[in-house]
Structures are given as C-alpha cells and as structure tokens.
Structure 1
Amino acid sequence: MNVKWIILIYSCIIFAYSLITGSATSPLLLALLAALYAISHFVSQRIPIHNLLQLVLLVAFHWSSGSEWCIPLYLLHLCREYRISSFNTAFSINIVLMLAFSAVSLSHNPDVSNYIPVAYTALSCLVLAYLYCKYIHDFEQQKQMFTNEKKHLTTHDSLTGLYNLQEFHKQFEKLVSSGDTVILVLIDCKDIKALNTTNGFQGVNKILKQVGQLLRIIFPDASLISRYGGDEFAIVLKCDDLQHTVHTITQQLASEFPKLTGIDIHFGIACHPVDGLTKDDLILVAEHSLYLMKRESWLKREEHMLRSEKLRVVGELASGMAHEIRNPLTTVKGFLQLSKASSYNIEPWYDLIMDEINRMSMLTAEFLQFSRPHVTQFKVQSIQKCIHRVISLLDSESTRLGHYIRFEPREEPILMMMDQDKMLQLLLNLVKNAFEAMPEQGQVHIKLLPIDQKVIIEITDTGKGIPESELEKIFIPFYTTKDSGTGLGLSICHKIVQDHEGTIEVESVKDEGTKFTLTLPTVSPKTTETTTKAAETTISA
C-alpha cells in the first residue's frame, strides 16, 4: 500500500480517537489540521517546501489532537528523512522533530512523572529511525553489490576476469567507431588442450588464469583485453606509431610471453584503418593472419617429425645391415683363423667362404636397391602381359618343385602406368615367396579384378601360412623367418607398390595358405591414345 494512504488512514484514526476521548482542544481545528496534513502528502510535488510544511502540520495536528497515537506518524517522518536527506541533515531534523514531539506531549501532561516516558518514547523513535536507516543503507549496498556482480558476470569471463566475447565485440565496435588508430591482436595458446591429459582441467584453468594476468602485466596500456574463446585471447591497443607498436607486440608475444609462461602461442595482428575500417574486417584479417601462423607452425612440426622418422628408419636399417653383415664376416674370420693353423690352406673351407661372401654381396645389392634413389620409367602397358611373362620365367622352377601356377586371363586388356621391370620384380618376389611357403606340391592362383579405375591382383598360395603375430612385421626391413635370406624382399615389394601409388595387403590362415592383395591404379584406353610420351619420375627412398 502507498505511504500516502497509510498516513491518511492513521490521520483519520487519530482524529476519530481524539473526538471519542475528548482530548481534542477544538474539533473544528483538529479536522482542519488533519485534512491539511493528509492533503499535503497528496499534493507534495506542487509545494516547494512540502517537507517542512508536513512536519509543521504534523506537530500542529499532534498538539490539536492531544493524543500519543501520533507516534507512528512521527516515526514515518523520521525514517523518511534518512531516505531523502543526507545522514547529518536527517539526524538534525529528527532531533528537532523529537524535541517538538516532547514539548507537545509535555504541554498536555506537564507532570514531572511524564518526563521519563516522553524522553524514552522520543529516544526510541530516534533509535528505530537510525536502525531503519542502517538497514536500508546495508540493503542498498548489498543490492548495489549484486547489481555490480551481475553486470560484471554478464560482461566478464568468470575464469580469467577479462571481458567475455560478447562484451569484446561491443567495446571493440566503440573503439573502431571512434576513428582512432588501433591494433587488434588475436592470441591462440598452442597445444594447451593437450595439457588436459597431463594437468587435468583444473591445471589448465590455472594456466588460463595466469595467461590472463600476464597479458594485463605485459600490456598495461591496452584499451581492451578479452578472452576470445576457450584458449584464445584478444587485445586491442591504441597507438601513435603503428610500425613501432606492431614490432613491440610481436617481440613480446614471440619471445617474452613463452619464456614467462612456458606456453608457445600463435597470434594474428590487424591494424585500423590500414587493414580494415570496420570491426568485422579487422577480425577477419587478424584471424587469417593467425591461421597462416598456425599453418606455418604445423608445417614445421610435420617437417621435423618427418626428419625424425627418417633418421629413425635410417638407424633401424643401419642396425639391421650391420647385424646381417656381421654374421658372414664372423664365419669368414673363423675359417681364416682355421686356415692359419693349416699353413693358410683354405681349400677345405673355400666353398663356405665363397658362399658367405656371395651372401654379403647379395645383401649389399638388395640394400642398395631398397634405399638408393633411382630413376623409374613409367609407361602404359598391359598387366596381363607382365603376369604371363612372370609365369614363363618361373615355368622351369615350378616344374622342378612340382607347383602349379593358375592364371585366369581376362579378354579385355587392363592397362597401367607402370615400370615393367619393377612390376616383374614385384610379381616374381611374391610368387617365389609362395613357392617357398609350400614345402610340398601346391598351387599358386593369380587373379585379376578390375574395379572402377583400379585393378586388384590377388596372389594366393596353398602353403603353411604366416602366424598372425608376424603379419604386421613382414614388411619391416631385415625381418625374416627363413634360415637364409636378407629380409628385404617384401620391403622392396612394398616400396615398388608405393612407387606405383598402390597398396599391398596380406591375409593368411595357418596351414591353409596366404593371399597377397595388390590394389593399383589403371588407365583407360582413351587416355592411352592421347599419351605419346612415357612418364619419367625420380623416386627417392
């Protein structure tokens, strides 16, 4: 209910009570003062000194009524003074008002015994009004605190305390609209998400807080610092010397920031009005610059990983080569030591020594073939002709071993861009491996399956198969399960397939056989008609 109506109701009650009890000095005057007092609250906006007038009317109304029931009205005015005036002013007015209340009360009952109750009532009203003032003051402070906190939460990031993305766009729009020369910097903390696995999300949150604090320290004159995203931040700075400021920012972010935090960052810079006249244009330029820096960093990392992988492979090859050569050298050394005891007569061990030397020669030749860059002659040729050539080359060996090669040729030619010598070497190695995997008479089945722009070549044997635990190792250089062999045969096959932009897969079932599946690209006859020159490509190991 409105305070004005409460005062009107109280005025009516006091007026009625005074008439009933006969405490009023003049009923007509009491009615007039009650009416004026009530009306003064409803027309207070039109009266310049309405506050003072209301206090005077209240004291007169109290004197005319002769009733202590006016105390609630006094209390209302005491509390109101703290709302509309400063504390010192309100306190002074309330003291004067309570003195007037005491004077009126004692004028109706001047007995000495009434002094203490009147003083107690006046003092109680002053204390209650002060407590009300304090309560209202605390309430307003808490309300203001909650308002400020709400405003802060709607405009700032709760983790870092920086401006959030929405407020960043709003403030940045104002800075750009002002027409000043400003620099936008977008920062992306490199690989910080990967730290979740080692530091946990709480550790990452701590790092993000530190990043926010450090940005405030490094850029104390920044017009705007914001958390732009999960691990991204944005900085806006005003400047006079554009080139000098950009150079300083680049040096601080590229050198000092990683040293202080231990975190590598990517950043993109855009300048107003050089790179754009609107907020969106500047953000687009900065994000593009950030992307280019990320891309360059990614390429360097890939190059480093590739270099490391190459060094690892070279180390493995060197280790395997040393191991393979050490064995025949040890054998030759042993035979030479025996020959010393026999007056250097090596005739009994001559054949064995020559076998070991031939083995080293073969190993060296295969290793050079595997690792050395070479020129490959690619020409469009029929894969069927290559397979027929392989069968004819292995005809005598298959007859000697009692094996049978079954090939189902297709009527239409399947053309490929290939190096015929390398393709023959690939197929010969796979078929010979199939022969060695069949200790008894067996069958090698070669099958062609053209699909779209590719051809699938399946070479299946009926041998003893390859254990599942060894399938993943068979293409590793120097890995072999044979008593004799270099372990480079399938590695060379794998490299030839890669040179022809194809894939090689293997399936095997113990004591049932093994199937190698080659998938190679083909060319159409129409393409062949327009091809007049052979493609020559140099492929490095």
Structure 2
Amino acid sequence: MESHNLIKKRNFILLLIFWLLYFVHIVLYHFIAADPHLIVFISGGILLLIVTAMYYFRFHPTIIMYSFFICYYAYIAYMTSIEPAVINYLFLFLGIIVSFIYYSYIAIVISTLMSIVIVLYFYVSNTLFTSVTFVKLDIVYFILFTLITMIILLYCAHFSKKLIAITTIKMNKTEDELYSAQEYLQSFFTYNRDAIAVFSLDGKVIKVNDAFEQIYGWKAEEIVGKAIPFIPAGSKGGAESRLERVKKGEKLVAFETQDKRKDGKIIDVEITVSPIFNRDKQFVALFGISRDLTEEKETEKFLRQTDKLSLAGEMAAGIAHEIRNPLTSLNGFIQLIHEDSSRYHSYTTIMLSELNRINSIVGEFLLLAKPHDTVMKKQAFSTILNDVILLYESECILKNVVVKTQVEAPHTYICCDANQIKQVLINLLKNALEAMPSGGEIHLNVTQHTKDLTIFIKDTGVGIPSHLLTHIQKPFFTTKPSGTGLGLVVIKNILYQHKGTFEIKSTVGKGTSVTLTIPLWKEGTCQ
C-alpha cells in the first residue's frame, strides 16, 4: 500500500511536468519550425488526456506508470517518423531518465529496451540516419550509451531504495516515539488526579485537565482564555513574587499555599510551577500542578485525635490497675460503717456516691483500653438495635420520651464487636435522654448504602452551643455536673476500631443530631 501511494504521487508529478513540457513544445515548435505538423500536437494531447483520465478515474498506480512510458514512446516514435532528426531520437533518453523517478528496476529496463527497439526500427527502415558512413557506428554508440545509462540508473535506483528504506525506518521510529511521547503526555495530563493547568504570561488559562475542574469547580469552557480569581486576596503578593521567580527560569516544587474554589471555599494545596519555553528558549507560558491537601489535612487531624485516644487508652489501663483495687477496699469499709453506724450516714452516703462516681470513671477508662480485645463477627444490626431500645424502653416511658424508629434495612449485617456497638448506641441514647429532662422525641433512622450502614439519631432536647461543639469530643471535657467527659471519646474510639465515622450537629433549643456510619459485612472480612 505504501509503495502504491509513492507511485501515485510520482504519477501526479509527471502529469504536471508532461503537460507543462507539452505546452512548451507547442510554443517552441510553432515559432521555430517552418511548417509545423498539427497532427503531432493533437496526438500528444490525446495521449496525455488518456493518461490523465486514467489517473482521474483512479486506475491502479502501476498501470498508470506503464501507460506513461507506452504513451511517451509512442508519441516520440510518431514524432520522429514524421520528422526524422537527430534531436528527436535524443528524447528517447529522456524516457530512461524519467523512469528513474520511480526507482523501479522493471521501469528502467523496459524504458531502455523500448528506446533501443525504436532506434533499431528506424535504422532498419532507414528513415533516421542519412549518413551511410556513420550509421553502424551511431547505432553501436547509441545502444552502448543506452545500456551504460541503464546500468548507472539501476545502481542509483538500488542505492536510493536502500537509502529511502533506511530513512523510512528512522522516520517511522521517530514518529512512533513522538506518538508515544505525545500519548504519554496526553494521558498524564488527562488522567492525572492532580489539577494541571497551563497559563499564559498575562495569567489567562490556556488549558486545564478534568482534575482541575473537579478540585477548583470551574469548567474548562468557562475559564479558557480568561484569568480566573483562584488566588485569595491575602495571597496575591506571594503569588506575584513566585511568578517573577518562575519568569527567571526557576521551578517551584511542592510548596504549600491556599487557593480559592469557584464557590469561594479556601482549600489547602501543594503546587508545583514551572516555565514553558519555545524553541528559542523564550519564556512563553506557565505549567502548574496543584494537589488538593484537604484529605491529607483531615487525616493529619484525625491521626492527632487518634494519638490522644491512644494516650487515653494507655492512661486507662494504668489508672484502672492502680485505682480499682484500693477503691474496692475503701468501698467495702465505708459500706460497713454506713450499715453499722447511723451517726455518720450523711457522710458515708456522700462518700459512697463519690466512690461510685470514681468507679464509673474507671469503667470508662477500661472501655478506652478494651478495643485491643475486640472480637469482630458477623452480626445482624437489627438485633443489636432492638436490644438497646428494649434496655431503654422503661426509662423512656418514665421520662416521657418517645423513640420513633425507622429502619430501611432490617436484614443488614455488619462486621463488629456487638457489645461495643451496643455501648455506642447506649451512650448516645443516654445523652439524648439527659438532654430532654421534660420529655421529647428521639428519631432513630437506619439506612443502607452501597458500602456502609448509616445510623441517624436526633433528639428534641436543649441542644449544645456552637462554641462548645468543638470541645465536647475532647477527653475529660463535659457540660454535665456528674459527667466524666469520656463518653464521646469512647464512641469515637470504638468507631475507629470498626472503620466507621461519627458526626455531631446541634442547634440550641432545637436538639442534637448524630450520624454514624459502619461498613457493611463482606464475605471474608470477619468470622
């Protein structure tokens, strides 16, 4: 297919050349010849029209190539027969030279043989040569010169074909490398999870990838050709300073800053900016890669909180062992005094109450340390939930609290330690009840998603002030007179062990809502 395309291109070039030579021949012959033969021009034009029609109707390129030579030699032979002259048979060599343009051995040999045959024909018919003395010598020289020309052209064609083959291989290899590099860069640009953007020197967007649209919120068609205000007002000075450094050829790698999204939200990003140069080493554009650090920052925050939980767990183990034993002894002796002597009842009652409170704190500490012994099993969440609701049923009636339950996934299984999940629900229901001393409602909704189970608990209690929401999840922070400040810490620690999440929202006077997510059970994840 490739060789046919090359022949087709050469056929087109020869058509143009022969039509040009044909018109030049008409003009020259008209002014030089005393008695021009119009039949010569008509026959030449007809032959050219035949080959042109074959090319137009898309005959096979090789057929057109051989038709060129046949028509050419027919035209030269006819012209020579009408006007025998040395100048005409010299044009026979032109056919041999023209055949070289195809680098075809067969075309060169055929052109040579046709030239020799035509000369021999005119020699035999005695129409070309008028000098008897040199007729034989002219024929010998012509044939010898024709053969030498053929040999030289065959060698040149062979050398040229090898050179073309080597050049073609190198070009194909270079094209493949360029294509691979282009595809690699395009894939890197398109499928990179980091935001990539190209900016002009005046700050206008030239091109952005899909990740840029997702991270910053602007669509490509909205911002290409425009300057987007993604730099916060307080960071413009630093941005201009960095731009000047990049213009000097410096590459800024992985520096942290803040950018502004389309919706106005400020996000933490890690940016790499580098200059783009043209062939003349002139700075023409900026190339920027931006990585959203929001998840990393949240992960760091979560890890810091986890460290606190770990520390609380270690403290729990130590404190529990140090306090539990003497606490039991003190509780026993005070109980004896309380029973034997009514004189100190007021004191012993307070002491027993405080000892119970200490015991409660120690119990909370033990829960912090307990996840090390977590046993994960396949559990039906509806069973766990029903057990907890049954446990608080009587207390809810006493406190005039109605629990409204809506379970959209009654037959859902989770991989968990049932006792610990019960502890989470117990703590949350306990908090809800304490927030409604005059009664109210607790809405408990359970929904199943693709990968997890969502538990939504909302009360109609007094609510929590916004300035306290950031503190209530810290260890030992409590708003209750008899609270330990460890309830929510225990909940978060348990959910962390179960790879779940915890979110709390509250409005003063309207109540508090808590959203939990727990991964669904999968085959092979636990017993």
TM over 0.5: no
TM value normalised by structure 2: 0.37
Higher relative contact order (CA 8 A, sep 6+): 1
